[in-house]
Chains A and B, each alone.
Chain A
Amino acid sequence: MRIEVKDLSFTYSPDTPFQKQALSGVNLQIEEGDFLGILGHMGSGKSTFILHLNGLIKLQSGEIDVFDVKLVPDKKNKQDLRKLRGTVGMVFQYPEYQLFEDTVEKDVAFGPKNLGLSDAEVASRVERAIRLVGLDYEDVRTRAPFELSGGQKRRVAIAGIIAMQPRVLVLDEPTAGLDPYGKEQILELITKLKRECSPTVIVISHDVDEITRFADRIVVFNDGKVAFDLPMNELFRHSEELTAMGLEIPRAVAIADKLRARGIDLGDVVNADDLVRAVVRKFGHGNMDETAISKLSASQFDFSAEYGGTAAGGDR
C-alpha cells in the first residue's frame, strides 16, 4: 500500500492574466508508515500538492494512486472520492476555524457520519477520537466548541479528522499560531496519532527546527517541482542550496556547519539531540558508551535558553 504520484502538473486560473503554474511534473512515492515532512516557501506548490491527495482539486494532468484509489484527469467517480476522503485525513491550517456544530461531540461526529457509518460505530469512534487527542471526553462532549481555548479547539478539530480513522494523516502547518507550550503538545500528539491511529503521516511546515524533530524523510518543494526527496539525515548536506531557495536550515545544522568550517566535523546533524550526541561522541568522556550517548537529549542540558525554544523541554 502506497501513494504514488506521477507527472502531476497543475495551473491555477488557466488562460487568464492570473494564470499561475503551481505544480509541474511532480513525481513522488509515499510508502505506508512514512513520516514525511514537506518543506517549501510560500507559493512553492506544497499546499496544492496535498490538496490533490484528497481529490479536493480536479486533476489537470498526471496520475495519482492513493492506496488503490486511482485518480486520472476528467473522470470523477463519487464513490471513489468518498473512499479517498476516508483514507486520507486532512488537517488544514487553523483547523479550529472549520468547527460549526453546537457541541464538540456533534462536530467530531460530522466526518464519520458522512462516511455512512452506523450510529453506534460513529459514537464509539467519536469517543475514541476525543480521548486520543487528550481531551476529557465526559467534560467536553456536550460543550460548545466556541467556548474552548485555542489549543483545545484545535484538538477538537483534529479529533474530527481522526474519527474518520484515516490511514494517512496530512497536516498543514499544525502548530501555526500556538505558543511554544501548545506547539510542543501538538507535536507530541502527532507522534502519538502516528503510533495509535494513522500509520502514515505527512506534515507541511516551514519551521525546520520543528520538522526535523520527527520526520524520517523530507520532500522539498521549489517552484512547483520536487527539489529534494531525501532521508532527514542526508537533506542538510545540501544546506547551501536550501538557503538559496529561501529556506531556513535548522539551528543545529547551522552550528554544525560553522564548526565544520573551523575544521571540526561532527558528521550528519539534524536536530538539537543529534548535536548533543555528536559533541559528546567527539569530545565527551571516555566512560560513556554508545547506548548511554544515544539516550542523551538536548533537554537534559541547561543551555536550552541560549539555544532557543526548540531544544527546551517545553513545560519543564
Chain B
Amino acid sequence: MRDVTFGQYYPTNSVIHRLDPRAKLIFMLLYMVIIFFVASYCGYALVALFLLTVTAIAKVPVKTLFRSVKAILVLMIFTAIINIFFYKKGEVLVDWWIIEITVGGIDFAIKMALRISLLVMGTSLLSFTTTAVELTDAIESLLKPLSYIKVPVHDIALIMSIALRFIPGLMEETDKIMMAQKARGAEIDTGGLIKKIKAMLPVLIPLFVSAIRRADELADALDARCYNASKHRTKMKVLKFSAKDAIAALVVVVFATLILLDNYLLGGLDRYIVDFVKGLTA
C-alpha cells in the first residue's frame, strides 16, 4: 500500500511548492495537452528535460518520481505490446504466422510508452509539490465563474477536499485491518487471482463499514457546527498570483511553443538529424 506514491505530498518548501496552485494547475493542464502534440524524439527529450529541471528545482528526488511510473508499469507494457502487434506502418521486420511487426509499430509503441510515463510523472510532480487543500482551493477558485450559472462550486470543492482528505485515513485503516487479519493467519499476498480476491474480503468489509461510519460522524460534525456553503464564507489562505508565477508562466509558454514549432514548422526534428547523419556517413 505504501508504495503508491501517487497523490503524496513531498514537502521541501521549494519555489515550485510556493507557486500559486491555480497557476500550477493550469500549467499542468497545458503540459498534458502539449504532450499530445509532441511529434519527435527530440520533442520527448525536451519534455523530459523540462520535467527533470522542474523536479530538480522542486528538490524532489528523481527516484520518487520514477516510483510513480512503477504503479502503471503493467498498463504501459500492455499498451506497448498491443501497439507493436497491431500498429502497422513502414518496413516489415518480423512476419511469422499471424504476427507482423513493423518499424512504424515499434516507433509508435515507444512513443506511446514515453507519452504515458511523462504524463504520469508530470501529474505526480504536481501532487508532490501541491497539497490536497491547495489543489481544491485552486479548483474552487478556477471554477468560480460557473457559480453565476448556479453551479454549486463551493459544495463541489468541499466534497473534493473531503474525499482527498479521507484517502490517507483510509490507507492507514486498510493497513491496520490488513495487519489484524494477517495476525489471524490470513494470507493476503499469496495465491492466484481468485484466491487473492477472496482473501481481500476480510479487509474490504471492515473497511467499508468504517468508511461509512466515518462519513456519518463527519456529517454529524458538520451539522453540529451549522456548516453551510454560504456566499459569505471567507478563506484563511487567500490565493495570490505573484511575480514568480508570471515568470513560471513565461517558461511554460516558451516550452509549449517549442513543442508546437517542432510539430508544425519542422514536422519533427528527428528527420533532419537522420538526414544530417546520413549526409555525414555518405
Residues of A within 8 A of B (CB): 13, 16-17, 51, 54, 56, 78, 82, 85-86, 89-90, 92, 95, 97-100, 110-111, 113-115, 146, 160-161, 164
Main secondary structure of the interface of B (DSSP, over half): helix
4 more A-B contacts (CB under 8 A) besides A51-B179, A86-B185, A110-B186?
A90-B180, A92-B180, A110-B202, A114-B186
Interface segment out of the listed B27-35, B84-92, B132-140, B204-212: B204-212
A17-B10, A97-B209 given; A115·B185 CB < 8 A: yes
Q: Are B184 and A160 in touch, CB under 8 angstroms? A: yes
A304 to B182, CA, bound (A): 42
Cβ of B181 within 8 Å of any chain A Cβ, yes or no, is yes
Residues of B within 8 A of A114 (CB): 184-187
Residues of A within 8 A of B64 (CB): 16
Task: Give chain A nearest CB distance to B6 CB in angstroms.
Answer: 15
Residues of B within 8 A of A (CB): 2, 10-12, 64, 176-177, 179-187, 190, 201-202, 205-206, 209-210
A89 to B181, CA, bound (A): 11
List the 8 closest A-B pairs by CB distance, nearest first: A114-B185, A100-B205, A90-B183, A111-B184, A98-B180, A56-B179, A100-B202, A92-B180
Q: Are B206 and A92 in touch, CB under 8 angstroms? A: no
Q: Which one, A17, A89, A97, contacts B177 given CB within 8 A?
A: A97
A17 to B63, CA, bound (A): 13
Q: Which one, B2, B11, B181, B185, contacts A98 given CB within 8 A?
A: B181
Residues of B within 8 A of A99 (CB): 206
A17 to B, closest residue via Cβ? B11
Task: Give chain A nearest CB distance to B143 CB in angstroms.
Answer: 31
Task: Give chain A nearest CB distance to B2 CB in angstroms.
Answer: 7
Residues of B within 8 A of A51 (CB): 179
Q: Are B176 and A92 in touch, CB under 8 angstroms? A: yes
A-B contact count (CB 8 A): 60
A115 to B, closest residue via Cβ? B185
Residues of A within 8 A of B176 (CB): 92
Residues of B within 8 A of A86 (CB): 185
A55 to B, closest residue via Cβ? B182
B180 to A, closest residue via Cβ? A98
Residues of B within 8 A of A110 (CB): 181, 184-186, 202
Q: Which one, B177, B185, B205, B206, contacts A111 given CB within 8 A?
A: B185
Q: Which one, B10, B183, B185, B206, contacts A100 given CB within 8 A?
A: B206
28 contacts between A and B (CB under 8 A): A16-B10, A16-B64, A17-B11, A54-B183, A56-B183, A78-B190, A85-B184, A85-B185, A89-B183, A92-B176, A92-B183, A95-B180, A97-B177, A98-B206, A99-B206, A100-B206, A110-B181, A110-B185, A110-B186, A111-B184, A114-B184, A114-B185, A114-B187, A115-B185, A146-B209, A160-B184, A164-B184, A164-B185
Residue of A92, A114, A115 with most chain B CB atoms under a 10 A cut-off: A114
A13-B2, A17-B12 given; A56·B206 CB < 8 A: no
Task: Give chain A nearest CB distance to B107 CB in angstroms.
Answer: 37
B208 to A, closest residue via Cβ? A100
Residues of B within 8 A of A98 (CB): 177, 180-181, 184, 202, 206
A82 to B, closest residue via Cβ? B185
Q: Are B11 and A97 in touch, CB under 8 angstroms? A: no
A114 to B181, CA, bound (A): 10
Residues of B within 8 A of A82 (CB): 185
A146 to B, closest residue via Cβ? B209
A100 to B206, CA, bound (A): 6
A95 to B2, CA, bound (A): 23
A160 to B187, CA, bound (A): 16
Residues of B within 8 A of A78 (CB): 190
Task: Give chain B nearest CB distance to A161 CB in angstroms.
Answer: 7
Task: Give chain A nearest CB distance to B170 CB in angstroms.
Answer: 13
